[in-house]
Structures are given as structure tokens and as C-alpha cells.
Amino acid sequence: MTTELPPALAAFFQAHNTGQTEGFNELFTGDALVSDEEREYRGDAIKGWIDKATTEYKPVAEIADLTQMGDTAVVTAQVSGTFPGSPIQLRYNFTLKDDKIAALSIGP
């Protein structure tokens, strides 16, 4: 399925799927919050989070659906990698502000 993602989300999933995360924090607002696996990340910790995840688990997200309403976007993806339970369907709940990611919560 081809889904047209907003530029910040397209860049997010490009980095997510390739592990090429240079400039990753530029996709986020200065006060952004990422919630994943019951942990929260802010500021420079966001790049640390994605670098660790891509190195350890080599996740690849295949976008299945995109629902947008105002500044909120929910991306449903089939995620495979080297983690227990792979593959799994996950929902990436994004809040966008000024074309950047202000918040991201990931879960089933």
C-alpha cells in the first residue's frame, strides 16, 4: 500500500527503517516527547533511543494505514526485526507542530 506521509513522518520512517539517523532530532520540536515500551525520551535522548533500537532490533516498518485529523497522525505498521514476537503490528501516534514531531507514542 502506498501512503503519502507528511515530510517529518516520511523522514522518521526512513531513519527507522535504514538506521541512518543523522539529523534525526531535527524532525522533532525542542520539547518533544517520545513514549515507547513504557519509557519516555526527550531532547538528545530521542536520538539515543532510535540509535539503540535500530542497532539492537533492526526494525523495518511497513506502513499499512495512515489516519490524520488536524495535527494528529496515526500510522499503523507491520514491524519486523530481530526482537521477540516479530513481526508485530504497531500504532505510531504522532502529534505534529509546525511540521515537526511534538509527541510520539508507540504501542500495539
Choose among 90, 108, 89, 102: nearest CA to 9. 102
Say yes or no to pLDDT of 15 above 60: yes
pLDDT in tens, 38-67: 999 999 999 999 999 999 999 999 999 999
Mean pLDDT of the chain: 95
Measured distance CA(23)–CA(49) in Å, rounded: 14
Fold exhibited by the domain 7-107: Nuclear Transport Factor 2; Chain: A, (3.10.450)
Backbone phi and psi for residue 37, each to the nearest 5 degrees, phi listed first: 50, 45
- Span 79-104, pLDDT tens digits: 999 999 999 999 999 999 999 999 99
| pTM of the predicted structure, to 2 decimals | 0.93
Model pLDDT, residue 3: 66
Residue ranges covered by each domain of the chain: 7-107
Amino acid code (one letter) for 70:
G
pLDDT of residue 78: 98
CA dist., res. 32 & res. 101, Å (int): 7
Residues 54 and 19: their CA atoms lie apart, in Å, by: 5
Overall average pLDDT of the 3-27 stretch = 94
Question: Which of 52, 53, 68 has its CA nearest to residue 6?
Answer: 68
